[in-house]
Structure 1
Amino acid sequence: MMIMTSIQKYTGMLILVVGGLLVGCAERIPSDQLEPVRVDVRLLETTDLHAYMLGYDYFRQQDTEAYGLAHTAMLIHDARAENPNHILVDNGDLIQGSAMGDWAAEQGTGYLENRVHPIMKALNYLEYDVANLGNHEFNYGLDFMFATLAGAEFPYVSANAFYAESADTSGKYAGTWGKPLVEPYVILERDFVDHRGDTQRIHIGVIGFVPPQIMRWDAQHLRDKVQVRDMVSAAQYYIPQMRAAGADIIVAVPHSGLRIYPEYPKFAEQASYQLAGVDGIDAILFGHQHQLFPGSPAYDNLPEVDNVGGYVRGVPAVSPGYWGDHLGIIDLTLERKDNGWQVVDSAVEVRAIDVRVDDALVALLQREQAATLAMLNTPLGMLEQRVSSLFARVRPESAVQLINDAQSWYVRELQAQGELPPELPVLSAAAPFRNGSQSPDDYTLIEAGPFTLGNLVDLYVYPNTLQVVEMTGAQVREWLEMSANAFRRIDPQLSEPQPLFARFPSFNFDMISGITYTIDPTQPARYSNQGELIDANSHRIHELRFNGEPVTPEQRFLIATNNYRAGGGGNFPDLDGSTLVYVSDAEVRQVIADYARSQTESNAGKLSVEVDHNWQLIIPNDVVVEFRGSPSSAAEEEMHDIPELYREGTDEQGYGIYRLRGKESSVTTY
C-alpha cells in the first residue's frame, strides 16, 4: 500500500511537471499560429424613403404591402437579431415625397420649434446611427431642413456641401475648404463582440455625399448661401483625415448612383463607381437612382461591377431601392492585424419587405397620419371628366394638360399685374410625372367627381416651384428636340414590333402647350441624354407652329416651367438659369390648386379639362411599335380611343404590353 502511494505521488508530480511544461510551451507559441481575432460587422441601409413611413398608398388612400418604413422596420429588427454588431444608416431623400412629407412641410419651420418632424420621430424610434443628406432634403429651404435635422437623435453627414462664405474657417472641419453644412464625416465608436466572445472597440468612419446638382435643382433656396464640391474630390480630401483620426474602417454613403464615363467629369451626379476607386473606402452604401444593387438590370454588363455578388471595383456595395421596399445589408469580417483592423471577407444582400408591419411605428405616427389624410381630402371642386397620364407618351393627355393650363393661367396673371411683358406669348412646359416608372400602378388616374388636394399629389409628385423663362423660337425647338429623346429610333423598314420608349425619364418628356408640332422617331436623336449635341443634321421636331404660322428662330416666348427644368435639371439646351425672367416661391401644386378654385368659382363649382391635341407622334404606315403601359380597366377603355392601338398581353411585372400600328391617323385623331 505504501509502495502504491509512493508511485501515485511520483506520477502526480510528473503530471504537474509535464503540465507545466505544456503550459509554458503554449505561452510561447508564435502569435502567427494563434487563431486570428475577427469581428463580424453588419451595415444596414435605407435610402430614398421619400417620407413613406407607413405602408400606405396616399394616391389610393389605402394600405399597401409594397413599400413603407413600417415594413422595412421588420427587416431591420431581423437583421439586428442575427448580428448584434451592426450600424443602421439612412442615405437621404428622406423628408420629401409622400403626402405626409408635404403635410409636415406645410406646417412650416415654426411647427418644428417645439416638435420633432414625424419622419425624424420614426427614425429615432428605430435608433438609426447616422444619416446622409440627399438632394430632396433641400427642397423646402435651409431653415426647414435644419429645423428638421434638429430633431434627429443621430448625426447627419455630407462631405461636399458647404456654406457659401468660404472664408469662414470656424468649426472643427473648416480649414481651407470652408464651413460644412453638417459634419462631413463621423467616427462611430462601437464595442462589438468578436468570434471568441471578447469585446473589441471598433471605430467606424462614415462619410456622406450629396449630388452637386442641388445648386441647380434648388437654386432658389441655395443661391448665395451654399457651395458644393465634387464628390470624389471630397472623398480624397477627407478620407486620409478619417484614417488619421483613428477610423478602423470607412463606409462611404453617396446619394449617387452608378455611371461609367469615358472621362470622369468633376461634379458628376452619379459618382459611386468613381468613389469605389478612392483608396481607403471599405464599403459603399449608395442610392438616388431608385435601383437595387445587386440585382437591377440597369447595372448589368458594367465593367468592374459585380451585379450578382454586389461589388463595385472590388468594394462591397449595396443600394436598397426606394420607399423602403428593400433593406440593404453588407456583412464585413474584420481581422486584427499588426497595422490595425482589415476587411478580410464580405457579403452583400438586399432583402425585400413582406406583409409584416411594425405596429409600434404605425401607432407613433397616427396623429400626423390623420392630419395628412384630412389635408388630402380638402375639396377644390368637381372634376367633369377623368384626368390621367395612361398614354401620355404617345398622345396629349389630360394630366399634362391640366398642369399646363394652370401654369399658363398663372403667368397670364403675372402679365396682367405688370410683372412680365404683356406682349410676349405664353407657353407652358410640363411632363407626365407618373408614367409607370415605379410600378404598373404608377400612373395618374383621377376619376370624374370631387377634386381634392390629394389628387394634386397624384397629378404632380414633386414640390417644384413655378418659374418663367424667356426663349426664342430656335431655343424652343431645341427644348423639344431634347424632349424627343423619350423615343428610340424607329426603323421604317422593319415589319416586326419595335420598342418605342428609350431609357429616358418620363419627367423629362416635356410637352409644350401653346404651339403645335409633330415628333418623328424615325430620325436619330439630336442630343444625348446628357444634353450633348450628337447629330447636328438630325431633327425629330417638325411642323412647329404658333397660331397656325411657322415659328421663326427669332420669335420670343415666355414659358412657364418648374425650378428643376429652368435651373438645368435634365440637361436641356439653354436651360441653365441664364434664361430665367421670373422666379416664384409658389409651388406648382399650389398654382394648380389656385387655378382649380378660380375655374370652379366661375363655372358653378365644376372643373373642366379640355385636351388640346397640339402634338402628334408620327409612326410610318404599317410599322408596329411596342411599349409597356397601365394594365388598368381605365387604360383598356382609353385604348379604344386611339386608332390602331391594341393590347398584346401582360408582362411578368404586371404591366400591360401594347402595340401601335402606324397609320396616317394612328395618333392624330381621337
Structure 2
Amino acid sequence: MMDLKILATTDLHMHILDHDYLADRPSQRFGLSRAATVIAAERASAANSLLLDNGDSLQGGPMGDFLADVGWRGRSGHPAIAAMNTLRYDAATLGNHDFSHGLRYLNNALRDADFPIVSTNLLSRRGLPVHACVMLQRMMRDRRGGAWPLRIGILGFLPPQTVDWEPELRQATRIGDIREHAQAGIAALRTGGADLVIALSHSGIGDLQPVPMMENAATALAALPGIDAVIAGHTHRVFPSDQHPAGPGIDPQRGTLAGKPCVMPGFWGSHLGVIELALQRSSAGKWSVANFRCRAEPVRALPPHQPVIRTAQPAHRATLQHFRRRIGRSDVALTSFFTMLGHDPGLRLVSMAQRWHARRLLAAGPWRDLPILSAAAPFRAGGRGGPDHYTDVPAGPLTLRSLADLYLFPNRLCAILVSGADVACWLERSASIFLRIAPGAQDQPLIDPEFPGYNFDLIDGVGWQLDLSQPPRHAADGRLLDPDARRVTNLRHRGRPVTPDQRFVLVTNSYRLSDSGVFSAIAARRRVVLQGGARTRDVLRRYVATQRMVAPPGPLGWNFLSMPGTTVRYATGPGAARHLELLGFRYDQIGQTPDGFLDLRLYL
C-alpha cells in the first residue's frame, strides 16, 4: 500500500497575503500566505504529496488589478506565480478570471511558472505556455519505505462560457465542452501509462446528468470512467461541508462526486483542500485507489508563511500606495449592510455614475430622448464571503480603495434597449433572492442562501414593491420555476405606471450581455446601444473625480408590501449595528449567529 496526499487551492483571486485591501487591514480569514502554513504542516505529515492550484489566481483583488494596469512584473515575475514557485506547486490550471486582463498579460504572467499549466478544453492557445494534459512522474514511498514510480495524469478545465464573459477573447480563443475534452484527455493519459488521473475543474458542483457546454460540470466530470479525483472551484463554495447541499451523485459529508473523491477549498485561500488516497498495486504493477478521505482545512487564525510574504511585499506596498490616493469626498457613509432591504448608498452611487456616463455618450444619438435606467448589483453583501464581506466606507474622503470596494470586477459598461415588460422580468429575477414568506408567521428566513448577491440586480430610475407572499418566479440559477408568479407590483417611472411596451435604455455591464447567467434570456436578445468600452470602475472613478463631492441617497426605490403580524430574520455584518437608524423597519437585535453575522428580526 502507498499513501498520497493531494493538496489544492482554488480561486485565490490574487489574495497572496492575508491583507484585506478594501478594508485596508490584515485578515485572519484568508490569504495564500496563511494557506501556506497549512500546506507545510500537511506536507510534513505525509510521505508523498502533490500541490495543485485550480485557477482564478491572477485576477479578482485590488493587487491583481493594479499590477495589470501598470504592467508590474517584479524581479521574480508575477507575484502570484512567484509565490507558487516558492511553495513548489506541482501543476495548475486556469480559471475564467485569469483571462480578464487579456492574453498578452496572461502569457507574461505564466512564462515564469516553474510548474506546468494545464487547460484541456482551451482549444486555441496562441502561444500560451499551456498544455492540454500533463503527466507527472514522481518517485513515491510505500508504507514500508520502498520507492516506486507513480505516473499521475493532470487535466484542467474552465467554463466554456469564458469567451462570453470576456468578449475580447472571441477572436483568439475557443473553449470546448468539459466532458467531451475530458474523455479525450483521459484516453491520452491512460494510453500513456497514467496510474492516476486528477481533474482540476475550475467549474462548480452541478448536475450529475451532463448537458452540452455546461458551466458547473464537476459532478458530471467525476462520473467519467478514468477520473480518480476532482478538484472543484469557480463557485466559491466549501466541499466537503455540512453547509453544502446534497444531490444526485453529491455527498457533502464524505466529499464525493459520483463516488469519486472531491474537494472545493473555498476562495481567496480561505481553505486548503486535502484528498488522502490509499493506493494499492495490482499484480500487473498498476496502482489504483483503494480508499480515500477528503477535507477542507480552514486557514483562519493561523500564522502567515514568511517566504510567501517576502515574494509579494514589493507589489503589496505599491498596491497600498496606489489605492490610498484620494479621488473625492462623500457626505454620507457608503454601506451595503441593508442592500437586500432597499438601502445602499454605495450601490446608488454606482448607478448614478453609470447613468451619467451613458447620458453623455447617447446625448447626440437616436436614443437621446429615451429614459435611461441603470442596473447594478452588490458585490460585497455577505453570503459566502462571510460577516466581513460588506462595503463599509465612512463619510469623508473617498480613495481608489473606496471605489474598488464598490465595484470589484473589471466589467465594461454597456447599454441595451428594453421594454417595460423587460424591466419587470429583470426585477422578478432579482426578487427570487427572497424566500416565500407566509403572512402572519414568525421569524421566517428572508434570504435564499443559494442565491448569489451579485445576481441581485436593482434598477435605478424606477420604483416598485415586492409581494413576499408570492412564490419566486426563478430559481437561484435562473431556471424558471413558476411562470405565473408575480412578486413585482406597482412598477412606476416618474410616478406613473410603467406600461409593458414602454421603451427605456438600460445601462448594465458586459457580463450581463453574455449568453449565460440569470439575465441572459432578457439581455442577450436586446439591441445594444452602447457596447462595452469603458470599464465600470473607471466610469465610477471619473464620475467621483468630476463631482468631487457626492451624497448618494440610500433608498433604492423599492420596498416590501406590508404584511401585518409577520416577522422575518435577516443576517448582516456586525458593522451594521452602527447604522440601524437607517432601517425602515421595526426591528429587534437577536445577537450574533455562530458564523459571526448580526441577527435581526424585522417586522414586515
- Structures share a fold, TM > 0.5? yes
User: 1:479 deviation in Å?
Assistant: 0.7
Q: Which of 275, 283, 292 in structure 2 is aligned with 1:346?
A: 292
- State the alpha-carbon separation in 2 of the partners of residues 419 and 190 from structure 1: 64
In the alignment, does 2:70 pair up with 1:70? no
Distance 1:455-1:424 versus aligned 2 partners, 3 A rule: same
What are the Cα deviations for residues 588-608 of structure 1, in whole angstroms up to 9, with x where unaligned? 1111100001101xxxxx222
Q: Which of 187, 192, 199 in structure 1 is aligned with 2:135?
A: 187
Q: Which of 323, 336, 344 in structure 1 is aligned with 2:268?
A: 323
What are the Cα deviations for residues 3-37 of structure 1, in whole angstroms up to 9, with x where unaligned? xxxxxxxxxxxxxxxxxxxxxxxxxxxxxxxxxxx
Distance 1:405-1:569 versus aligned 2 partners, 3 A rule: farther
- State the alpha-carbon separation in 2 of the partners of residues 613 and 240 from structure 1: 54
AA paired with 2:109?
A: T
Distance 1:537-1:311 versus aligned 2 partners, 3 A rule: closer
Partners of 1:163 and 1:180 within 8 A in 2: no
Q: Which of 302, 313, 327 in structure 1 is aligned with 2:258?
A: 313
AA paired with 2:339?
A: A
In the alignment, does 2:601 pair up with 1:654? no
In the alignment, does 2:157 pair up with 1:209? yes
- State the alpha-carbon separation in 2 of the partners of residues 181 and 577 from structure 1: 37
Partners of 2:6 and 2:49 within 8 A in 1: yes
AA paired with 2:489?
A: H
In the alignment, does 2:336 pair up with 1:393? no
In the alignment, does 2:322 pair up with 1:375? yes
Q: Which of 278, 287, 291 in structure 2 is aligned with 1:333?
A: 278
AA paired with 2:143?
A: H
User: 1:278 deviation in Å?
Assistant: 0.2
Q: Which of 72, 95, 98 in structure 2 is aligned with 1:134?
A: 95
Q: 1:510 corresponds to which residue? A: 457
Distance 1:471-1:205 versus aligned 2 partners, 3 A rule: same
Partners of 1:113 and 1:147 within 8 A in 2: no
Partners of 1:567 and 1:577 within 8 A in 2: no
In the alignment, does 2:473 pair up with 1:526? yes
- State the alpha-carbon separation in 2 of the partners of residues 181 and 404 from structure 1: 40
Q: 1:421 corresponds to which residue? A: 367
- State the alpha-carbon separation in 2 of the partners of residues 638 and 653 from structure 1: 20
User: 1:568 deviation in Å?
Assistant: 4.1
Structure 2 runs not aligned, ≥5 long = none
User: 1:434 deviation in Å?
Assistant: 0.8
Distance 1:532-1:342 versus aligned 2 partners, 3 A rule: closer
Partners of 1:304 and 1:312 within 8 A in 2: yes
- State the alpha-carbon separation in 2 of the partners of residues 538 and 209 from structure 1: 37
What are the Cα deviations for residues 599-619 of structure 1, in whole angstroms up to 9, with x where unaligned? 01xxxxx22223454212224
Q: Which of 75, 79, 83 in structure 2 is aligned with 1:118?
A: 79
AA paired with 2:433?
A: A
Q: 2:211 corresponds to which residue? A: 265
SS in 2 for 1:298: coil
Distance 1:420-1:204 versus aligned 2 partners, 3 A rule: farther
- State the alpha-carbon separation in 2 of the partners of residues 357 and 387 from structure 1: 31
- State the alpha-carbon separation in 1 of the partners of residues 527 and 577 from structure 2: 38
Identity %: 36
In the alignment, does 2:64 pair up with 1:101? yes
SS in 2 for 1:343: strand
- State the alpha-carbon separation in 2 of the partners of residues 466 and 73 from structure 1: 37
User: 1:381 deviation in Å?
Assistant: 1.4
SS in 2 for 1:486: coil
Q: 2:50 corresponds to which residue? A: 87
Distance 1:72-1:419 versus aligned 2 partners, 3 A rule: farther
Distance 1:532-1:44 versus aligned 2 partners, 3 A rule: closer
User: 1:180 deviation in Å?
Assistant: 9.2
Q: 1:282 corresponds to which residue? A: 228
Partners of 1:427 and 1:512 within 8 A in 2: yes
User: 1:242 deviation in Å?
Assistant: 0.9
What are the Cα deviations for residues 509-568 of structure 1, in whole angstroms up to 9, with x where unaligned? 111011111111211222233433332322111111222222222222111111111224
Q: 1:628 corresponds to which residue? A: 571
Q: 1:11 corresponds to which residue? A: none
The structure with the larger Rg is 1
Structure 1 runs not aligned, ≥5 long = 1-37, 166-178, 601-605, 663-670
- State the alpha-carbon separation in 2 of the partners of residues 539 and 223 from structure 1: 37
What are the Cα deviations for residues 269-292 of structure 1, in whole angstroms up to 9, with x where unaligned? 211111111001111111122222
- State the alpha-carbon separation in 2 of the partners of residues 155 and 425 from structure 1: 52
User: 1:153 deviation in Å?
Assistant: 1.5
SS in 2 for 1:457: helix
* Higher mean C-alpha deviation, range 46-55 or range 339-348: 339-348
Q: 2:486 corresponds to which residue? A: 539
Distance 1:530-1:292 versus aligned 2 partners, 3 A rule: closer
Partners of 1:375 and 1:453 within 8 A in 2: yes
Partners of 1:639 and 1:646 within 8 A in 2: no
SS in 1 for 2:353: helix
- State the alpha-carbon separation in 2 of the partners of residues 374 and 96 from structure 1: 19
Q: 1:609 corresponds to which residue? A: 552
User: 1:114 deviation in Å?
Assistant: 8.0
SS in 2 for 1:393: helix
Q: How many equivalent residue pairs?
A: 599
- State the alpha-carbon separation in 2 of the partners of residues 612 and 435 from structure 1: 16
User: 1:463 deviation in Å?
Assistant: 1.8
Distance 1:640-1:480 versus aligned 2 partners, 3 A rule: closer
Distance 1:222-1:361 versus aligned 2 partners, 3 A rule: same
Q: Which of 145, 155, 160 in structure 2 is aligned with 1:197?
A: 145
SS in 1 for 2:321: helix
SS in 2 for 1:525: coil
Q: Which of 551, 562, 572 in structure 1 is aligned with 2:509?
A: 562
SS in 1 for 2:34: helix
Q: Which of 145, 157, 178 in structure 1 is aligned with 2:106?
A: 145
**Equivalences for 1:248-263 in 2 at 5 Å?**
248-260=195-207, 263=209
Distance 1:199-1:613 versus aligned 2 partners, 3 A rule: closer
Partners of 1:160 and 1:180 within 8 A in 2: no
- State the alpha-carbon separation in 2 of the partners of residues 448 and 181 from structure 1: 47
Distance 1:312-1:533 versus aligned 2 partners, 3 A rule: closer
Q: 1:156 corresponds to which residue? A: 117
Partners of 1:628 and 1:655 within 8 A in 2: yes
User: 1:625 deviation in Å?
Assistant: 1.4
- State the alpha-carbon separation in 1 of the partners of residues 249 and 481 from structure 2: 27
What are the Cα deviations for residues 249-300 of structure 1, in whole angstroms up to 9, with x where unaligned? 1001101121236x5322122111111110011111111222221114123x
SS in 2 for 1:79: helix
Taking only aligned residues, the RMSD between alpha carbons, in angstroms, comes to 2.1
Distance 1:200-1:595 versus aligned 2 partners, 3 A rule: same
- State the alpha-carbon separation in 2 of the partners of residues 568 and 523 from structure 1: 29
In the alignment, does 2:593 pair up with 1:645? no
